[in-house]
Amino acid sequence: MSPDSRNSEGSVTALSVSRTKGHKKTNIPAGRFITGHGIDGDAHAGDWHRQVSLLGTESIAKIQAAGIDVSPGDFAENVTTKGLCLYELPIGTRLQLGETVRLEVTQIGKTCHHRCQIFHQVGDCVMPREGIFAQVVRGGDVRVGDAIRVLDTVSGIESGA
């Protein structure tokens, strides 16, 4: 177990949205999370199990170490975090962002059907392995710099890839 995976609290380092799927996301200072939907204004929001995507700055640093200039949002993640080893969290984990927003982890990683630009530049992309996906179980507003905390885990949740 890595040192970060033992942490139960980290921080939100970036929030990002895109109006269309398949594009890098644009960073925003704050976002409104809508219960059962996702982040207001994001193309991936909707009634499904991958309403919000999260990726750690620690994962982004792996691609940066390969000499590629990437930033939060470039992997199409909505929430970039620091201090938590997201991909080691079990499905069903509940997270709190800021004062009110609660997410439930529904999927770890994903199949990358179409290789992204980062994969073609580096020969690798961390999002399919280390990105996580969640549903919004309680909405509210989140700002860059807010805390993200692991609350608990819920057993029996399926990823539904």
76 exposed, middle or buried (CB, 10 Å; 0-12, 13-18, 19+)?
A: buried
pLDDT of residue 121: 55
Structural domain count, the chain = 1
Domain boundaries, position 140: 3-152
Q: How does pLDDT run along the chain (161 residues), one tens digit per residue?
A: 343 445 789 999 999 999 987 677 999 999 999 999 999 999 999 999 999 999 999 999 988 888 888 899 988 899 999 999 999 999 999 999 999 999 999 999 876 656 665 555 555 677 778 999 999 999 999 999 999 999 986 644 433 33
Look at residue 157 and tell me if it is in a domain: no
In this prediction the pTM is 0.85
pLDDT of residue 7: 73
Look at residue 87 and tell me if it is in a domain: yes
Look at residue 158 and tell me if it is in a domain: no
